Structure formats: C-alpha cells, structure tokens
Amino acid sequence: MSAKIVLGRVALYALLSAVTFLVCFPLVWAFFTSVKPKEEIFRWPPTLWPESWTLENYRALLEGKQAYFQAGAAAASGPPPSAFFLDWFLNSVIVTLGTTAISTIVSTLAAYSLTRFRFPGQRAVPYLALVGYMVPSIIFVFPMFLVMADLRLTDTLFSLILGYVCITLPFCMWLMWAFFRGVPIEIEEAALVDGASRLRVFWEIVLPTAWPGIIAAAIFTLIVSWNDYLFGRVFMNSMENLPLTVGVMHFFDGTHVDWGLMMASSVMMTVPMAVLFMLLQKHLVAGFGAGAVKG
C-alpha cells in the first residue's frame, strides 16, 4: 500500500470515529450518569469518566425508592413514581409482545389471502394500507379513545394493544403483501395438484418461506409499540397501568429532577432495543429495504 492510501484510510477512520463519537455520546453520557453517585452527578465541572461507580440508581428504581429530590405534591400523595417502575416495565413488555403477535398474524394471513385469492377491491387494499400508514397517530388517538371508552376498555393494557395494532397493521400488511407477491406460487400449486389442502400448503410450504418477511414486520411492530408515548398518555389513567414511556415522564413531577434515576431508567429502556438491534440487525436492514420503516 502506498503512503497516500494509508494516509487516506487513517483520515477516513478518524472522521468516522469522530462522527460515531458524537452520535453515541448522548447514550454513553446517560450510562455514565446512571452509574455515578448523586454528589458526582451534580459536580461542576462534570467528571467525564466516573470517579466512583455505583449501582444505587438502578437499585432505587428496582426497589422503588423515593426520588432523591422529590418534594411537594408528588411526594405527598401516595408512593413515589419509582415504586411503579417494575410494573411499567412489565406492562410495556406485555403490550409490546401482544401487539407484535396480533399484528404479524393478522397481516400475514390477510396478505397471503390478498395475493392468492380474488376479491373485489383487491388492488386498492395495499395502497389504502400505505395511506393509513402515513396518517399520524395524533389524528387517530382521540377518536380511538372515544371508541375505547364506548367499549369500556380505557385504562386497560388491552386498549393499548388495540391502539398499537391499529398503527402498525397497515405497514405490516404492506410489507407482507410485497413479500408474498415476490414468492413464486409454482410449488404451492404443485402441492395443491398433488392433493394437499390449502391450509396444509399454507402451514408447511408458505410459512417457512415467509419468515424473513414476518421477522421484518415483527421488528417494526416491536419498535413502534415499545417506543410509543402518545397512546399510553391518552388511554391510561392509573399509575400501575402505565407503559414505561409514559411512566418515566412522571419522574419530572417533583420540584427537582433526579438525573441519576432518570438516566438509569433511560438505560433500562434502551437495553431491550439494543439487544434486539444486535441480534436482528441483518433483518432490520432487509425490512428497511422492503419499504422504509415508519418514523
């Protein structure tokens, strides 16, 4: 390698590292803050590398300790918000998994049906789904709240699942439709001619080949339902029923903010997504390729 190429590479790596540092910094800083003891968090100038490491912020979250500086009305009425942290976490897990199961199953069945059978208005459905996918949640949320109120479902985790199914279904539908359209039907037809039933063909031939599409749809749904704030905010009332995203915003209720607790919950909220990202990065990019994830 000539000196010029080596220099060019060094420059490229330097540039990439600088950008990556800037991009990752807010998350790294949240982590460092979460492992610092209180007095170090409030020190000025701040210590870049934590001088002493502690898990007290995480322990406070898991044990539901009073927030450090909490005062005033929030502290006076009932247990501190951090007492509900584990409830919130569990709620988010339940809602996310429930939504993902429903959205992927319903969209897979419908997309298969749409690409293999004839219906009136067949061509319009995927395009309508795409339009539905562009409609922002803020438009859905109030009328859907009224629908939930009519069904007496408000303040239940099930209402959240239904809400998230409704905002994720259009895109999952579109994704699976695009996917099934690309799967050749010759093998299915051959099996049908050989006397296999349609259900058996679907179960034994179609589903195994559909996994990449299903995984992409599932990832999309997982991300949307884990990250949403708006529906949880409008649908839910009781502290113990909140999803994680709505719950942690209650840490701002006091007159002072406990940044250590805040950053610890920030880290705990990100970790499931980080694990998912590392495990499924390949599929994630495939999903993007199939038609751009909502954002």
Partner 1 sequence: MRGFRLSDRQVGILFMLPFLVTAGAFMVWPVAEAVRLAFYSYNPLRPDDLTWVGFENFERIFNDPLFWESFSQALVWTGWSIVLQTLLGVGLAMLLHVALPGIAVFRGLLLFPYIVPTVVIALNWRWIFNSEIGIVNHALVSLGIIEQNIAWLSTPNMAMTSAVLLNVWKYTPFVIICVLARLQTIPTELYDAAKVDGAGAWRRFTDITLPMLKEVLVVVIVFRTIWTFNKFEEIYLLTRGGPGTSTFNLAVYAFEEGMANLRLGVAAATGVVMIVLLLAGTVVYVRVSGFGQEEKAT
Using CB under 8 A as the binding rule, the residues of this chain from 174 to 233 that contact partner 1 are 197-199, 202, 223, 226-230, 233
If you ran DSSP here, which 8-state letter would residue 153 be given?
A: -
Backbone angles phi, psi at 32, to 5 degrees: -60, -45
Per-position x/- string for 147-176, each x denoting binding to partner 1 as judged by CB under 8 A, each - no binding: x-x------------xx-xx--xx--x---
One residue of 132, 155, 156, 185 binding partner 1 per CB under 8 A:
132
Which residues, numbered 224-283, are part of the site for partner 1 (CB under 8 A)?
Answer: 226-230, 233-234, 244-245, 248-249, 259, 262-263, 265-266, 269-270, 273-274, 276-278, 281
Number of residues that bind partner 1 (CB under 8 A): 94
Tokens coding 244: 């994680």
Alpha helix (H) residue ranges in 156-258: 157-181, 186-193, 198-201, 207-227, 230-235, 244-248
Is the Cβ of residue 1 or residue 76 nearer to partner 1 in the bound state?
Answer: 1
**120 sits near partner 1 (criterion: CB under 8 A):** no
36-44 own/partner pairs: CB under 8 Å, 24+ apart = 36/260, 37/260, 38/68, 38/260, 41/259, 41/260
Is the Cβ of residue 76 or residue 289 nearer to partner 1 in the bound state?
Answer: 289
One residue of 83, 87, 101, 116 binding partner 1 per CB under 8 A:
116
At closest approach, how far in Å is the CB of 71 from partner 1? Answer: 18
Is the Cβ of residue 157 or residue 234 nearer to partner 1 in the bound state?
Answer: 234
One residue of 110, 183, 191, 239 binding partner 1 per CB under 8 A:
110
Distance CA 33, CA 259 (A): 8
Distance CA 164, CA 99 (A): 6
**95 sits near partner 1 (criterion: CB under 8 A):** no
Stretch in the footprint of partner 1 (CB under 8 A) among 24-32, 59-67, 70-78, 208-216: 24-32
Distance CA 135, CA 137 (A): 7
If you ran DSSP here, which 8-state letter would residue 102 be given?
A: H
Site of tokens 């001088």:
51
